[in-house]
Structure 1
Amino acid sequence: MKTTIDIPDSLYKKAKIRAVERGLTLKDIVLTSLERELDAPPAGSAPPVARWAQRKLLPEFARLEAAGAFTARPGDRDITALISDDRDGR
């Protein structure tokens, strides 16, 4: 389908330069930009939540975590410090 739209000169120049830089036509740039805009989530909507973030802990693991089984104890070292020490030793 063909249509006519008014594009400000400055925007037209930017789009034309981008098309030339990428070896595309102005039509390709406009269509790609329009598709990207229409595929984007509506403004103000919350970003999608990753599937792994929606998972629930197994009851036994949740109970142990609540009891503090996985908290750091005095003298425990952070994993990044352990990795740094290992690399320094090589």
Structure 2
Amino acid sequence: MKLKYQYDKEILTISEKQSESDIEITILFRNEESAKHLEAIRIFFDENDIYTDAIFNTYTDNSHQVIVRKDYYIDFILQLFKQTLLKSITWE
């Protein structure tokens, strides 16, 4: 089964690229307020003892790259939903 999600394209854009062991997620925010929600997700992952679950990179064009281990992908998507950055999540 594959996870499918929807988000408001006026607020952000999300793209994914899979590799063998992780998923590279690029998020481009259209406003600063929405980008603040990603900081809460970063804190969530920083507070656990696993340093390689999600690695966050921020760029000057207001885009963010998150490299998520495949075994933490669902946790990351759920955090996006919890922070109201996603509108819905479904299994396909």
TM bin, normalised by shorter chain, reads: under 0.3
Structure with the higher fraction of residues in strand conformation? 2
Q: Between the two structures, name the one with larger relative contact order (CA 8 Å, sep ≥ 6).
A: 2
Q: TM-score normalized by structure 2?
A: 0.22
Q: TM-score normalized by structure 1?
A: 0.22
